[in-house]
Structure 1
């Protein structure tokens, strides 16, 4: 191993994690060993409890992306009329009666809804 590797962050982090594992896993007294393990498990649960919203949001995002990809895979382009053009109403239709609209959003059927 090179000298630079001994002073790297990964080396130090691995050494500390190994020391923590050795401290919790090995002891001559079984009762003390289990007390250490319970303390370590409690610490892990508390760390996870503080970041539960992050974990849930990542999980929900992954589920949403999977569902979106599944939905897109099930769409048949032959049946999709999302961008079908209406030849009789090129500027859209009225939301209530379905009458064709002009470029200004006015009805072209000659009826005025604003008058009594």
Structure 2
């Protein structure tokens, strides 16, 4: 087995993680085994506590993308007229729905800026 003699970084990392797992999982004394497991679990919790904001922000970002894609998939583009032209108000309407002229003034003579 010549491939097992190769000491690459992945080989050494895998062997170290396997040794750590065997150290924590196998022991003749059950109470000592659980103490080892608690120590390893607490180390993992401490490492994750430092990066909890990064983890939460990543989950929120993915959730927003999923909800956005879901919302866009439910839109019926046949019923939406983004570029429909209003024949009664070719220059648009104000916030109250009144037609505007080409200067952006109300056409009904009740311009609110003149007061």
Give the TM-score normalised by the residue count of structure 1.
Answer: 0.77
Distance 2:11 2:101 in 1: 71
Correspondence 1:55-74 to 2 at 5 A: 55-74=55-74
Q: Which residue of 2 aligns with 1:43?
A: 43
Q: What are the superposed Cα offsets for residues 75-99 of structure 1, whole Å, 9 maximum, x if unpaired? A: 1112113332222323321123x22
Is the aligned partner of 1:100 residue 2:91?
no
Structure 1: give runs of 5+ residues left out of the alignment: none
Q: What are the superposed Cα offsets for residues 14-68 of structure 1, whole Å, 9 maximum, x if unpaired? A: 1221121122122232222211111001111222222221221122222212211
Q: Which residue of 2 aligns with 1:13?
A: 13
List, as ranges, runs of 4+ consecutive aligned residues in structure 1 with deviation greater than 3 Å: 108-112
Correspondence 1:71-90 to 2 at 5 A: 71-90=71-90
Equivalent position SS for 1:80: coil
Distance 1:63 1:114 in 2: 45
Distance 1:104 1:19 in 2: 78
Give the TM-score normalised by the residue count of structure 2.
Answer: 0.78
Equivalent position SS for 2:79: coil
RMSD of aligned residue pairs (Cα, Å)? 2.3
Distance 2:12 2:103 in 1: 69
Structure 2: give runs of 5+ residues left out of the alignment: none
